[in-house]
Structure 1
Amino acid sequence: MIDVLDPRHDPEPGYWTALRERAGLRADWSWEVLATQAWAARTPQPITVFRDGDRPCGVVSAAWVTARTRRYRFAGAGRGRVGGLDVRGPGASSQPGWWFDGDDADGGVRRLLETYVPAMRAELGPGFGGLLLRQVGAAGQDAVSGRFRLVRRTEDVAVLDVAEFGSRDDWMNSLARKRKQNLRKIFRTFDADPSVEVRFVPGKDADPVAVAEVLRVNERKHHDVPIVPLPHFTGYLTALLRQPDVGVIEYRDTRTGRLIALATLFDHPEQPIARHWGALRPEDGGRPNLYFHFYGEAVRWAVGCGRTSVVFGKKMAEMKASLGARLVPQYAAAIPAWC
């Protein structure tokens, strides 16, 4: 049995909480967050659930992209007859946009192609031209390869393993000498600066408006991709931040109380995700080296909570590798609907 749901109009399914718990889906998969994001998106955002009776056994998140899709245009009431599906995680681009029950050696890629594509052909009709499948791991590369399919390696995802460390210092001491010396200097500088307060707070205690202002500073830097993210809407952030598994590392100017930098963390029993990062430029009231300090704070938090690793996402891979992260290869595949 298959449910194709539109979070803008369909209520949260009764099985959704149990599905999220079984699949380990983080805060961005909360139905409240999905609905808020869908209303602020430039494309329809169908959520497809596979069920064995009342028991959910798979889920796929995607965006329906048509010729009417525009950078600064919200999704309309109509769906559009001709287009394709961009299969992606609803929030964190470092995670796949699908999950299937069971331990598939290919990360569930083959099951996605064998079940999801036929289901979407039936749902969308002859106008369904194909799909772009993102965040395919190396184990799933063979499953997406084939005639008339285009497979390309994309940006690696940085994952920092912290299980072996007992403290932030242990992590820092594992790094190359030059990097270690640089980090020690950065940490000492922040510790000696009374004008900056660093604290970890539950997301519900953060101010969504202040968070949006800082994140938009970072968003404006990234116009080097074909379709840049939409600005961070306060409505979406309000819904996201109040999820119980969201935490925020805040940097505030103690003289003004102004938020000058922040990071959000999506908690998980084993592998949390460092999701958002934003910081004011030093000339606008920020501080140098904020990102490096945040990295250390994330490590300290993860070690203190007994987590095994932290996902630090894409971009700046070389720098993250110098901070001890391993780079996990990722692939994207363009697959015709009839192939």
Structure 2
Amino acid sequence: MVIDVLDPRYDAEPAYWAALRERAGLRADWSWPVLATQAWAARTPQPVTVFRDGPEPWGVVAAAWVTGRTRRYRFAGSGRGRLGGLVVRAPGVSSLPGWWFAGPGGGLDCLLDAYVPAMRAELGPGFRAMLVRQLGEPAGGGLRLVRRTEDVAVLDVARFGTRDDWLQSLARKRKQNLRKIFRTVDADPSIEVRLMPGREADPVAVAEVLRHNERKHRDVPIVALPHFTGYLTALLRQPDVFVAEYRDPATGRLLAAGSVLDHPRLPIARHWGALAREDGGRPNLYFHFYGEVVKWALAAGRPSVLFGKGMAELKATLGARLVPQYAAAVPVLPSRRHA
């Protein structure tokens, strides 16, 4: 077995990376240029660990190395820090796992049996703990502190023929509300709606509206860092990214934008941001965006769409099923450190 522990800031894209992404079904945020751009703008080192037999990869894990040197408004330095832990998480989408292993049973057991020893060898005795997010079921046994986290919302669209079929499946009040929103927005000459490949969007304008959304949630104790234009530029260039734009045609100003990361089985409604009403924004575009995503997914033949985490009850009213998620904290004990 060969283990590659890669730092996207310094390591070139491996020759096997495109094939690994395709086999594992890793979305646009796992593209190497996107990983590299994100790593340079991150608060923590972002190691990407690949397991392979010769040239054939059979596993990959993305993580953040968190130490006492980690700060909310400080970029990751070149040093590692002596004592810390790994947070195993997807590099872009917080509602998906940050690992893939080929074959059955490729979950927490592989992380414990293969990943922990590999990172112990890489990081040394200062590696003391691991937090694994987005487990689809509770982890049992062992020295694992497990708790349920936010559910993720998945809308199964394969059973619908049209967007109206989806609307018909909803509760009466929500159905009437959405129909009114769709009619109002679609008939408003001051709002131009366009769903397009991400490469056609202006990443600077998209970053601006996403930051409006970030500022709206400053009351949350821990919020994501603002969206960096460089990261969005790299992400939107990927061929499997689409953007829904809402513009004022008279001024050309971007009022709101949402992104979709495509996938054959489970695309993701990834970003959303909109101007506040007092800044010239328009009401209810958030709901209209989900209608556009459903319409796009049906046209593209996608069976389901991931609506992500947060506002689970609201997303359930849109017909999404809520999938429980768990996090496991794994102390790296002396017996495991020498595994």
TM-score class, shorter: over 0.9
Secondary structure at the counterpart of residue 9 of structure 2: coil
Paired residue for 1:301?
296
Letter in 2 for 1:121: R
* TM-score normalised according to structure 2 size: 0.96
Give 2:4's aligned residue. Answer: 3
How big is each residue's C-alpha offset from its partner over 1:206-250, in whole Å with a ceiling of 9 and x where there is no partner? 001000000001111223544321111111111000000000000
Task: Give the letter for the 1:92 counterpart.
Answer: V
Q: Which residue of 2 aligns with 1:113?
A: 112
Q: What's the Cα RMSD here?
A: 1.1
Q: 1:241 aligns with which of 221, 236, 240?
A: 236
- Structure 2 alignment gaps of length 5 or more: none
1:124 maps to what in 2? 123
Distance in structure 1 (CA, Å) of the matches to 2:209 and 2:27: 23
Letter in structure 2 aligned against 1:201: M
1:97 aligns with 2:92: no
- Describe the SS at the equivalent of 1:220: helix
1: CA distance between counterparts of 2:5 and 2:142? 29
Q: Which amino acid aligns with 2:136?
A: G
In structure 1, C-alpha distance between the alignment counterparts of 2:220 and 2:277, rounded to whole Å: 25
Deviations 1:179-225 (A, max 9, x none): 11111111111122111011111110000100000000111122354
User: Which amino acid in 2 is paired with 1:61?
Assistant: A
1:85 matched residue in structure 2: 86
Q: 1:287 is aligned with what amino acid? A: R
Identity %: 77
> In the alignment, what sits opposite 1:134?
133
The residue number in structure 2 matching 1:219 is 214
Equivalents in 2 of 1:226, 1:6: separation in Å?
29
2:108, 2:145 → 1: CA distance?
Answer: 15
Deviation at 1:102, TM superposition (A): 1.2
Give me the whole-angstrom Cα distance separating, in 2, the residues matched to 1:46 and 1:221.
31
The reply to whether residue 320 of structure 1 matches residue 312 of structure 2 is: no
What is the CA–CA distance in structure 2 between the aligned matches of 1:72 and 1:42, rounded to whole Å? Answer: 7
Count of aligned pairs between the two proteins: 333
Cα displacement (A) at 1:81: 1.1
The whole-number CA distance in structure 2 between the counterparts of 1:61 and 1:278 is 26
Measured in 1, the distance between the counterparts of 2:88 and 2:107 equals 13
Deviations 1:18-63 (A, max 9, x none): 0000000000000000000000001000000000111000000000
Q: How does 1:250-269 map to 2 (within 5 A)?
A: 250-269=245-264
What is aligned with 1:44?
45
**What corresponds to 1:159 in structure 2?**
154
User: Which residue of structure 2 lines up, in the alignment, with residue 68 of structure 1?
Assistant: 69
**Corresponding residue SS for 2:216:** coil
What's the TM-score once normalised by structure 1's chain length? Answer: 0.96
Structure 1 residue 147, shift from structure 2 partner:
4.8
Query: How many angstroms does 1:145 deviate by?
Result: 3.1
Paired residue type of 2:66 = V
Q: What displacement does 1:149 show? A: 2.2
Deviation at 1:163, TM superposition (A): 0.2
Q: Greater shift after overlay, 111-120 or 17-26?
A: 111-120
- Distance in 2 between residues matched to 1:223 and 1:194, nearest whole Å: 33
Residue identity in the other structure for 1:84: G
